[in-house]
Amino acid sequence: LAKTTQPISMDSYEGQEVNITCSHNNIATNDYITWYQQFPSQGPRFIIQGYKTKVTNEVASLFIPADRKSSTLSLPRVSLSDTAVYYCLVGNNAGNMLTFGGGTRLMVKP
Amino acid sequence: NAGVTQTPKFQVLKTGQSMTLQCAQDMNHEYMSWYRQDPGMGLRLIHYSVGAGITDQGEVPNGYNVSRSTTEDFPLRLLSAAPSQTSVYFCASSWGQGLVEKLFFGSGTQLSVL
């Protein structure tokens, strides 16, 4: 499982775009990048997954540069309800040890 | 569909007591796993199972036992609770093992060991 590094916390304001970057210098060729969101007193919830370039769904976008050594989760026009912890995971189907790191605690202010 | 159901939501134990945390899923997922979450440490994998009758250890297995007699259920047993096991426990399931498969989590069990 590739080691990932994320900022411990970030602050933003309602309506702003938030970008959370994850560093994964030792990513393997067959590794995917996945982001989860966790609200207080709840289990993590899948947000988005990608392998290269850009992936977009109804809640977020994921940008992955050509060297794949980092990735950026983009949340457009955040609201107070986006206050949560966001986890970046890097790995593949051969990985059994899916340990989540400390994540990034996003605080959205009014 | 209920998804992943964990019971109980809260539990207080005395040191040395035993108990079982229940986890059930109704999505016919082969892969199930248990995590513990401590402040500032993210989620750490305790045990996992890739199918009925098959279990294996994760990162922090000591003090915990699991079994997988059916596809639906994956209970976590604490044989002799210790204060160090005070934590929030999450069960998760997915179609297959590995990161590529989307994990579905339960709502957690908050356990305090006095």
Query: What are the tens digits of pLDDT across the range B69-78?
Result: 999 999 999 9
**Chain A closest CA to B95's CA: distance in Å?**
11
Query: Residue range B20-30: average pLDDT?
Result: 96
Mean pLDDT (chain A) is: 90
Which pLDDT value is given to residue A41? 85
Query: Residue range B24-29: average pLDDT?
Result: 95
Task: Find all residues with CB under 8 Å of A3, minimum gap 6, and list them.
Answer: A24, A25, A26
Mean pLDDT (chain B) is: 92
- Does the pLDDT value for residue A22 go beyond 80? yes
Tell me the CA distances in angstroms from B43 to A4, A10, B34, B108, one per residue in order. Answer: 14, 20, 9, 12
Question: Smallest Cα–Cα separation from B112: which of B32, B24, B38, B33?
Answer: B38
Torsion angle, CA of A58/A108/B101/B30, rounded to 10 degrees? -110
Instruction: Report the residue of chain A nearest B88, measured CA to CA.
Output: A41
Residue whose token pair is 């995917």: A32
- Pairwise pLDDT comparison (B101 vs A14), residue with the higher score: A14
Confidence of residue A3 (pLDDT cuts 50, 70, 90): confident
Q: Do A45 and B105 touch (CB under 8 A)?
A: yes
Which pLDDT value is given to residue B40? 73
Residue A54 tokens read as 């850009």
Strand A104-109 and strand A9-13: pairing? parallel
Percent with pLDDT over 90 in chain B: 77
Which pLDDT value is given to residue A30? 85
pLDDT digits (tens, 9 = 90+) for A54-82: 999 999 999 999 999 999 999 999 999 99
Task: Find all residues with CB under 8 Å of A65, minimum gap 6, and list them.
Answer: A71
Check if A81 contacts B (Cβ < 8 Å).
no
Q: Do A43 and B101 touch (CB under 8 A)?
A: no
Which chain B residues have a beta carbon less than 8 Å from that of A90?
99
Residue whose token pair is 């993590």: A44
Which pLDDT value is given to residue B14? 97
| Cβ proximity of A62 and A73 under 8 Å | yes
Residue to substitute from B60, B100, B105, interface A, most A β-carbons within 10 A = B100
Check if A32 contacts B (Cβ < 8 Å).
yes
State the SS3 of chain B.
Answer: CCCEEEECCEEEECCCCCEEEEEEECCCCCEEEEEEECCCCCEEEEEEEEECCEEEECCCCCCEEECCCCCCECCEEECCCCHHHCEEEEEEEECCCCCCCCCEECCCEEEEEC
pLDDT digits (tens, 9 = 90+) for B91-106: 999 987 766 778 999 9
Distance CA A97, CA B46 (A): 9
